[in-house]
Copies of this chain bind each other. A is one copy, B any other.
Amino acid sequence: MTVADQAKTAPLRIAIAGLGTVGAGVIRLLNTNRDLIAARAGRAIEVIAVSARDRTLDRGVDLSGYDWEDDMTELASRGDVDVLVELVGGSDGPALAASRAALSAGKGLVTANKAMIAHHGLSLAEKAEEGGVPLKFEAAVAGGIPVVKGLREGTSANALTTVYGILNGTCNYILSEMEETGADFSETLAEAQKLGYAEADPTFDIEGVDAAHKLAILAAIGFGSKVDFKSVRVSGITQIRAADIAQADALGFVIRLIAQADVEGEGKDARLLQRVRPCLVAKDHPLASVDGPTNAVVAEGNFSGRLLFQGAGAGDGPTASAVVADLIDIARSEVGAPFSMPVAQLQAFPPVEPGHRLERTYLRFTVNDRPGVLAEITAAMRDADVSIESLIQQGRANEGGEVLVAMVTHEGQERCVRQALALLEGSDSLTGEPLVLPILRN
């Protein structure tokens, strides 16, 4: 047996940084499915050492068999460890320091940290490639769904035309609950927080930032582009009212927060459009039935056609499943370029201005209940060349004397809708910012 062969059967030795629900989940999974994992990985996966902020906390798993390190950077560079599993979170700080230390010390890195990969994925991947060590982050996108693998390997033969999906379980839970109960946003958010589906500070989720992190990662893998988180255009779900969901329903749609990346043009003219925004989704679209905290990703390839990956987008079990799948790949020596091709070959696609793109749009105005308002709005639409497909005016004003006007446009350039809204800006007929929701193409 050669030294290389020995290395292939010796246990894969890991260190875990961060022992929150996911860290504890990974330990529980490695214990529960130990024999199965060893059979599939071709060798055992052994936890050598762990680190977390608070040593005294009871995490419901027995840590007595592992070394404890107070310093995560020390943990990351231990001589008796092959791979660091980073589950601390946060784009910078101790997570990044420990990750860099691990790669510098020639260790592999497995992480569930979408913020870190969205911000520093390229430099980490470069470091990993230089050192010839694995960097894997299946758990960073869509929890337990093997979609990083799906795009990196499953669709690898294809030029993708679009990648989109439901990437934030909190938003999807809130939107599908609003659909179910008819309750308004803030009420549903409070309920979601009580049930643990939303964090105490839900900003990153409900403003779409979390989905944007994940989208930037998927776009890079799917299109062979450099991760470009800062170019993602993001709008969240805080403006959605119960009335919008009811209107959408009447028109045959549900509302979902959709993260979508498209490439326009080819070769040197290629441009990348990345957006996170609530959309109307036709009820017969596969994403319309994705409810609660479930995630789903659609990828369309030039040979594969449309593929859908769906499953639990968060939770300790599913996330641990993704982390350990990465470890099994590493144990099997199935480890190539983290972003499907070497960083040096990823293209830097400039972001595209979407004004010329064609879409149908749902528009909702809140207006004063007085004559002439509808004429004013429809005149602005006409002047901006926006063609209205259907329009509904709520019968009765609410307590504030406000009525709701909702419309769906025919397919037209996005810039026309924006121009119509510019024409209406400052009008004292409108009592609030209009809501613009694109209709997802079927």
A: residues with CB less than 8 A from B are: 25, 29, 32-33, 36-37, 39-42, 144-146, 149-150, 153-159, 224, 284, 286, 289, 296, 301-312, 315, 317-318, 320-325, 327-329, 332-337, 340-342, 345
Contacts and interface: CB of A to CB of B under 8 A. Distances in A.
A222 to B, nearest CB: 11
B33 A157 contact: yes
Nearest to A267: B35
Contacts of A40: 156, 224, 340-341
A428 to B, nearest CB: 46
Given A145-B307, A155-B321, 19 more contacts: A29-B157, A32-B302, A36-B224, A144-B307, A146-B150, A149-B149, A149-B154, A154-B325, A157-B320, A157-B324, A157-B327, A158-B321, A286-B289, A302-B317, A303-B321, A305-B318, A307-B309, A308-B311, A333-B336
Contact of A144 (B149, B303, B337): B303
Nearest to A328: B156
Copies of this chain in the oligomer: 2
A311 B304 contact: yes
A146 B155 contact: yes
Contacts of A149: 146, 149-150, 153-154
A315 B309 contact: no
A315 B305 contact: yes
A136 to B, nearest CB: 11
A273 to B, nearest CB: 19
A175 B224 CA distance: 39
A387 B304 CA distance: 46
Q: Which 3 A-B pairs have the closest CB atoms?
A: A146-B154, A157-B324, A304-B321
A310 B307 contact: yes
A352 to B, nearest CB: 20
